[in-house]
């Protein structure tokens, strides 16, 4: 096809392909959620409806963008980790980041009612995104540890505030203490299928197949245990 005289403008696009062999992390954070939480009457300091909606939206991202191996979220943020060898969108940072952010934002609105019922969504929420590359397993684990430790620190700083709401820091549920980690897991699923026998009669036959589903955890991801229990997440 003949090129138009306007085509040259394409050359103004810069190459933003992520360095090969690195884990690609996309972190989202809700815009001005301090205000969003107030206006939507989030219970302090941890509104379970809001946390559930964040996790639902993160699941939607994992379902739509293959190659995300783990996601971790707390408060109004979620981090998504693409496997080191991903070639999705030719590893273009802007494509990966904007797809994650828009899929997450539209899901947040789409699933709002499932978590907040009749309480209306007052305005369209937004999320910022950034891309960070980590070359080693240690760096990636330290990144995720940092996010979880950061959560603990900010919660502990608020301990005095928490006591105001009559919450004992230590007896809080794991969801509040540890945040949410999402990973893919294989699960055997048995369904009954109606099959035709050679003699022409039909019968119900159980068929078992292994399906990949997203599993959520509210556990420590800083120590060794989680990684020993799930050795497939990191590429060695
Ligand atoms: P920015 O746009 O810079 O991110 P922000 O107001 O979103 O500003 P954050 O540091 O991201 O600031 O903090 C998020 C705030 O959102 C928390 O301090 C809290 O007030 C509120 N928030 C988020 N999730 C929840 C929740 N599940 N329950 C209660 N409050 C929440
Ligand atoms: P990609 O994910 O790579 O962007 P795509 O299917 O979205 O794939 P585009 O090149 O973005 O491909 O093209 C958008 C397509 O969406 C159009 O080719 C057309 O089929 C359809 N489309 C978009 N807007 C309209 C519209 N207003 N009316 C009818 N069709 C539309
Ligand atoms: Mg912020
Ligand atoms: Mg925020
Ligand atoms: Mg935040
Ligand atoms: Mg398109």
Other beta carbons less than 10 A from residue 92's beta carbon:
17
Structural domain boundaries of the chain? 17-184+213-229
ipTM, 2 decimals? 0.91
In this structure, which residue's CA is closest to atom 21 in ligand 1?
A: 34
Look at the domain 17-184+213-229 and name its fold. Alpha-Beta Plaits (3.30.70)
Task: Give pLDDT, residue 160.
Answer: 62
Peptide bond into 175 cis (omega under 30): no
pLDDT band of 60, cuts 50, 70, 90: very high
In this structure, which residue's CA is closest to atom 20 in ligand 1?
A: 34
pLDDT band of 155, cuts 50, 70, 90: confident
- End-to-end, the C-alpha distance of the chain in Å comes to 45
Q: Kindly give the distance from the C-alpha atom of residue 211 to the centroid of ligand 3, in angstroms, as a whole number.
A: 36
Choose which residue among 46, 56, 73, 76 to substitute to test ligand 1 binding: the one with the highest number of ligand atoms within 8 A of its C-beta: 76
pLDDT in tens, 76-100: 999 999 999 999 999 999 999 999 9
């Amino acid at each position: 096809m003949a090129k138009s005289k306007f085509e040259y403008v394409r050359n103004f696009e810069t190459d933003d392909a992520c360095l090969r062999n690195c884990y690609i992390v996309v972190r989202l954070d809700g815009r001005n959620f301090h205000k969003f939480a107030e206006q939507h009457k989030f219970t302090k300091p941890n509104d379970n409806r809001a946390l559930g909606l964040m996790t639902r939206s993160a699941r939607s991202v994992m379902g739509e963008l293959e190659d995300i191996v783990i996601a971790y979220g707390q408060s109004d943020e979620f981090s998504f980790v693409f496997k080191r060898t991903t070639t999705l969108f030719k590893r273009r940072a802007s494509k990966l980041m904007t797809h994650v952010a828009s899929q997450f934002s539209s899901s947040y609105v789409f699933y709002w009612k499932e978590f907040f019922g009749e309480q209306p969504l007052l305005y369209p929420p937004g999320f910022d995104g950034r891309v960070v590359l980590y070359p080693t397993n240690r760096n990636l684990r330290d990144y995720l540890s940092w996010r979880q430790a950061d959560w603990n620190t900010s919660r502990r700083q608020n301990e005095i505030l928490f006591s105001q709401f009559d919450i004992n820091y230590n007896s809080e549920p794991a969801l509040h203490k540890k945040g949410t980690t999402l990973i893919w897991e294989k699960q055997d699923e048995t369904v009954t299928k109606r099959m035709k026998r050679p003699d022409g009669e039909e019968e119900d036959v159980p068929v078992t197949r292994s399906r990949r589903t997203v599993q959520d955890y509210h556990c420590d991801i800083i120590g060794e245990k989680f990684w020993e229990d799930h050795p497939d997440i990191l590429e060695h």
